[in-house]
């Protein structure tokens, strides 16, 4: 069976992640995209929010994580966010992209991002 997708894109939050002291001190905006794999049929059949992902609640948890305890790597942050997505029993897999558009790169660039995919064991 193929999975349905719920996507939340462009979620913005300010965090203090990075290896440079200025990143920790000043913070910067991070942008998060998540794509959740799940079966939405039980929710659709009964028009029942409790049988799917409440993406408003999920957004709040993700923002809290970005704004929370700093980490050096956005790879670590992406993994943390994927774990939050997988806490919902309806979610079978989560793809998370963390964008760091103000990364300290000494050349012109548009974006730096890490994309990971995690699933239930």
Nearest to 34 by CA among 75, 93, 100: 93
Look at the alpha carbons of 64, 69, 75, 79 in this order and tell me if their dihedral is positive or negative. Answer: negative
Structure-block tokens of residue 27: 């913070």
Q: One of 61, 83, 100, 115 is an active-site residue; which one?
A: 100
Task: List C-alpha distances in Å: 95 to 16, 20, 82, 101, 103.
Answer: 22, 27, 7, 19, 21
Look up 115 and say whether it is catalytic.
no
3-class DSSP state for residue 33? strand
Q: Which residues are catalytic?
A: 100
């Amino acid at each position: 069976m193929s999975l349905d997708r719920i996507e939340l894109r462009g979620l913005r939050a300010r965090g203090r992640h990075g290896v440079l002291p200025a990143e920790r001190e000043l913070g910067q905006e991070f942008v998060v995209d998540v794509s959740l794999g799940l079966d939405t049929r039980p929710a659709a059949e009964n028009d029942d929010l409790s049988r799917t992902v409440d993406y408003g609640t999920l957004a709040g948890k993700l923002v809290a994580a970005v704004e929370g305890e700093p980490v050096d790597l956005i790879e670590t942050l992406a993994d943390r966010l994927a774990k939050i997505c997988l806490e919902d029993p309806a979610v079978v897999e989560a793809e998370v992209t963390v964008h760091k558009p103000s990364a300290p790169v000494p050349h012109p660039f548009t974006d730096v991002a890490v994309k990971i995919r995690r699933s239930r064991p």
